Amino acid sequence: MILLLKTLQQDVALASASDSPLDIPLIVISHGISDMFAFHMSPSDVEEAEQIWQKMQAELATFSAQGKLLLAEKSGHKIHIDEPELVVEVIRQVVEQVRNSDN
């Protein structure tokens, strides 16, 4: 699992190497309950993996000048299942931002 995180870190670093961020609506939703790694690793590895994951989520939000990071406080990794209303609301916000930018 740590190898997977390292690979994801490399992907984020490569994607962020662009000269300038995009200027599109972007909302990254990150889990608030750290259950993603708990069943596969030791507690110390879980803590390290969670820190890496959260850092990558924050970096993803910087890919756009309009990017935001939103914490789904009641959700584990399956945010769409734990807080579907939050996911729907975020989609609505992004659609509204796109519609308003066309004016």
Tens of pLDDT, residues 13-25: 666 666 677 899 9
Domain that holds residue 79: 2-101
pTM of the model: 0.77
Binning the chain into helix, strand and coil, the percentages to the nearest 5 are: 55, 20, 30
Residues of the chain falling short of pLDDT 50: none
For the beta carbon of residue 48, count every other beta carbon within 10 angstroms: 15
How many domains is the chain built from? 1
Beta bridge partners, 64, equal 22
Q: According to the model, what pLDDT value does residue 29 have?
A: 97
